[in-house]
Amino acid sequence: MAPEELTRRLRRIAYVLAGTGALYLFVRYDLFDVPEAGCSPVVGVAPGARLLLDGWATDARVDDVVLFRDAAGALHLGRIVEPGEPLGSDAVWIGGDDPDCPGYESAASGAVPRSAILARVLVAF
């Protein structure tokens, strides 16, 4: 094989790999802006912050901050905490850690099904 042909094939392979990587990043990760009005029920996430979200949050665990929908369809931000009661693997217990800003609390509203978790927060900036 001539060096020019080898270079051409390697370049094509690099383009395919780069395109596949970009598609993976586009599908898995997303940005979300926290509204500036009001407060945030999670310490470390300020009102108006931008969040980098992992949309494949099936393995979210205790201490992870997650974005989820409640039974009525409202969007909430909360931290997964140790459950106040035994739960199966298909639900999580949500608690807010900022006492000055009330948010969704599983103690008052019940456990959140894992299927309601939209994303895990990776970075708030």
Provide CB contacts within 8 A for 46, sequence distance 6+: 34, 40, 124
Q: Check pLDDT > 90 for residue 8.
A: yes
Q: Check pLDDT > 80 for residue 84.
A: no
- What is the reported pLDDT for 85? 74
pLDDT digits (tens, 9 = 90+) for 87-124: 777 899 998 888 888 889 988 888 999 999 999 999 99
* 8 Å CB contact between 68 and 118: yes
- Match 């009525």 to its residue by tokens: 72
Binned at pLDDT 50, 70 and 90, residue 86 comes out as confident
Task: Give the strand order in the sheet containing 29-33.
Answer: 29-33, 50-54, 117-124, 65-69, 75-81, 91-95, 112-113
pTM, two decimals, is 0.84
CA distance 70 to 103: 12
Distance of CA 119 to the CA centre of its chain: 3
- What is the reported pLDDT for 87? 78
Domain over 31-124 is classified CATH 2.10.109.10: yes
- What is the reported pLDDT for 98? 85
Question: Considering only CA atoms, which of 28, 25, 9 is closest in space to residue 118?
Answer: 28
Over range 66-85, report the average pLDDT.
91
* 8 Å CB contact between 98 and 23: no
- What is the reported pLDDT for 96? 81
pLDDT digits (tens, 9 = 90+) for 9-61: 999 999 999 999 999 999 999 999 999 988 899 988 999 999 999 999 878 99
Q: Where are the domains of the chain?
A: 31-124
